[in-house]
């Protein structure tokens, strides 16, 4: 939820956790309600432009690279040789941009239900959409769950679930039956990754349930990687990977090179370190 207790500030309040994140804003650039959600864009004083969906911070110019790089490169480099990648969600196109940095990738399909998010990214976040015209990219605006249902068995190397919080349009992307369908469309050796909320706030709930559901869906290995994200609840976020016939916990940083990818946060060494969970997460996740 959001509130505006101080004039000139955008504030997202997390009542359940007794906390909030606020950014000083200079002006509102966009305020529309699409068929699916309320979309706003602000110019902030120190974080560049800010995108908000249904009152929740989606991204800022200043820190979006943290999320987009960690949602992309651990999964693709764990796989090792992905040719076909699918992104469910990701309408701001930042994850698509990162996927297309990998020359081995031959085709990327992005399916987001709300075209207005991509329209806003084109208008206000040009750096995120700079690879949209890559001939390997396919952008679809439809229901991602239905798209997965229609997808051929064993046809995808890496599946990225770049969703909003598990409410509203994204709620179905966190269900056990959906994860089972994701497992079906992955090739043997395939990897899926899903954003999995805050380690501090959601380890015992969303993260634990997601990991259990991935295992129930048939994935042989699961790994949660925490990373900093200053403008998300608690300032700390995570992604959770699952492997179909591969061990997503066994990444070897000495086998990959990333200099050509032009990255701001991700390194193979950081990836390996992120696989080592802090004691409180291990205790709750078992």
Q: Which residues have a catalytic role annotated?
A: 162
Which of 5-10's residues contact partners 24+ apart within 8 Å by CB, and which partners? 10/42, 10/44, 10/50, 10/52, 10/57
Query: Do the Cβ atoms of 42 and 60 come closer than 8 Å?
Result: no
Q: How far apart are the first and last CA of the chain?
A: 31
Helix, strand, coil abundance in the chain, percent, nearest 5: 35, 30, 35
Helices (H), the chain: 64-70, 73-79, 94-99, 115-124, 144-150, 176-185, 199-202, 208-216, 268-274, 279-285
> Residue 87 in contact with residue 96, Cβ under 8 Å?
yes
Rounded (5°) CA angle 190-228-206: 60
List of residues 6+ apart from 179 with CB closer than 8 A: 192, 213, 214, 216, 217, 219, 242
CA–CA distance, 264 with 268 (Å, rounded to integer) = 12
């Amino acid at each position: 939820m959001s509130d505006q207790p101080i004039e000139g500030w955008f504030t997202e309040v997390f009542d359940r956790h007794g906390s909030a994140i606020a950014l000083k804003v200079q002006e509102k650039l966009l305020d529309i309600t699409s068929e699916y959600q309320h979309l706003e864009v602000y110019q902030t004083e120190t974080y560049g432009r800010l995108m908000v969906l249904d009152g929740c911070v989606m991204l800022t110019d200043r820190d979006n690279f943290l999320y987009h790089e960690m949602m992309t490169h651990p999964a693709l480099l764990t796989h090792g040789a992905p040719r076909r990648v699918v992104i469910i969600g990701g309408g701001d196109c930042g994850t698509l941009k990162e996927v297309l940095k990998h020359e081995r990738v031959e085709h990327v399909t992005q399916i987001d239900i709300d075209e207005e998010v991509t329209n806003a990214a084109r208008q206000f976040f040009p750096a995120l959409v700079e690879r949209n015209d890559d001939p390997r990219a396919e952008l679809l605006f439809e229901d991602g769950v239905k798209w997965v249902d229609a997808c051929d068995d064993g046809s995808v190397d890496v599946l990225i679930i770049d969703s909003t919080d598990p409410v509203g349009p994204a709620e179905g992307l966190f269900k056990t039956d959906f994860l089972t369908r994701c497992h079906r469309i992955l090739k043997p050796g395939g990897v899926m990754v899903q954003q999995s909320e805050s380690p501090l706030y959601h380890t015992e709930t969303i993260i634990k349930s997601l990991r259990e559901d991935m295992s129930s869906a048939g994935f042989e290995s699961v790994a949660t990687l925490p990373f900093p994200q200053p403008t998300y609840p608690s300032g700390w976020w995570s992604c959770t990977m699952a492997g179909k016939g591969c061990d997503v916990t066994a990444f070897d940083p000495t086998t990959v090179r990333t200099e050509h990818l032009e990255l701001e946060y991700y390194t193979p060494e950081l990836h390996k370190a992120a696989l080592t969970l802090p004691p409180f997460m291990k205790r709750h996740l078992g």
